[in-house]
Amino acid sequence: MKPTARMHDLGQSLWLDNITRTLLDDGTLARYIAEDSITGLTSNPSIFDAAISNGNAYDDAIRAKTRTGLSGEILFIELALEDLRRAADLFRPAFDETGEVDGWVSMEISPLLARDTQASINAAARIHQQADRPNLLVKIPGTPQGIPAIEEAIFLGIPINVTLLFSPEQYLAAAEAYLRGIERRIRAGMDPKVGSVASLFISRWDVASNKQLPAELHNRLGIAVARQTYRAYCKTLDSPSWKKLAAAGALPQRLLWASTGTKDSSASDTLYVSALAAPDTINTMPDVTLKAFADHGKLQCAIAADGGDDDLTIAMIAQAGIDVDALATTLQDEGAQAFAKSWQQLLQRITDKATKFAALATGSKGADAR
């Protein structure tokens, strides 16, 4: 049995952290589903920027949509949703078979809205309606301004992937927003079944801290924070407030491990997959990490509900000079800035391609006229 199948049997969902039109067209995503137990998918502006810039898979669609008058963000969202609808349909069997727990895809609102609560709510509502798929999560960052947007979106019945979480405290803020949104739906007599995941970013911790730590503490901070967060997650699912909502028919907001590709070339290429095995969680990984784990991954013991000895690891890292709480805030801020930069690059790339195609079309018409 493949390591990916064993992980699935443990109760952890494996999602792909990638989407391209080529993956859909050549059957690669379908093969990941059939052969590697992939049951969902996440996307972000950086992923779409790379997909659109590397090759010509989107050129015909950009050309056609430009001719109809679409441009900028509106054009991109249509491009992205064309891909994500197709992916959502591939995952629909998993969505139905698991009672809407698994089988999701994700689409990000504009990262430029990370500090604007009402604009985030409005954008999430538009994407949810435009997507027209029950198994599409709208990604809203778990920034201080994003938390009330998450609560309101859940209340409105919009499935949400809370992104850019970096600590147990940030996770708990997202979890509490989800619970409040569901509680409000129940009080209003509405269906409490609204999907959500909370995405904790892992490898960025180690990229930021390794250079300040002794070698024996390299690549340990992200895993330690994740295990502390898993402890908070288990406590949330064991709380009276959650059990009351579950009894009413609510879905759990599942904890998702994001940014699980190994960035340190001296470390195992499956480091964050093997170390973060846990039931009722999700690991979303890039293609290279998925292939590595499917080929030679080792399934370690599942994370202990109490987080194991990771408080000691955090204490050792703090003694080495890392302010973990401050770094969590910095990483969330930097993550929001990086996604905003990718978003702007993406829109500029689409604009450049559209301008090029328009110029070629004009030149062609001029040549025909002559």
Question: Tell me, what's the pLDDT at 365?
Answer: 58
Classify residue 292 by its DSSP letter. H
CB 70 within 8 A of CB 78: yes
The token duo for 282 is 């999700």
Q: Are strands 38-42 and 13-17 parallel, antiparallel or unpaired?
A: parallel
Question: Tell me, what's the pLDDT at 301?
Answer: 84
User: If pLDDT is split at 50, 70 and 90, which confidence band does 88 have?
Assistant: very high
Between CA 113 and CA 251 the distance in angstroms is: 27
**What are the structural domains of the chain?**
3-360 (3.20.20.70)
**Which of 166, 169, 234, 154 minimizes the C-alpha distance to 200?**
166
The yes-or-no verdict on residue 160 having pLDDT over 80 is yes
How does pLDDT run across 311-358, given as a tens digit for each residue? 999 999 999 999 999 999 999 999 999 999 999 999 999 999 999 998
How does pLDDT run across 40-71, given as a tens digit for each residue? 999 999 999 999 988 899 999 999 999 999 99
For 257, phi then psi, to 5°, come to -90, 120
Between CA 278 and CA 271 the distance in angstroms is: 14
Distances in Å between the Cα of 294 and the Cα atoms of 297, 300, 345 are 6, 14, 33
Active-site residue, selected from the candidate residues 139, 244, 263, 341: 139
Question: Tell me, what's the pLDDT at 366?
Answer: 52
**Which of 115, 164, 150, 219 minimizes the C-alpha distance to 331?**
164
The token duo for 79 is 């491009």
Q: Are strands 160-165 and 105-108 parallel, antiparallel or unpaired?
A: unpaired
Q: What's the pTM value of the predicted model, to 2 decimals? A: 0.95
Average pLDDT over residues 186-210: 98
Is 139 catalytic? The answer is yes
How does pLDDT run across 265-300, given as a tens digit for each residue? 999 999 999 999 999 999 999 999 999 999 999 988
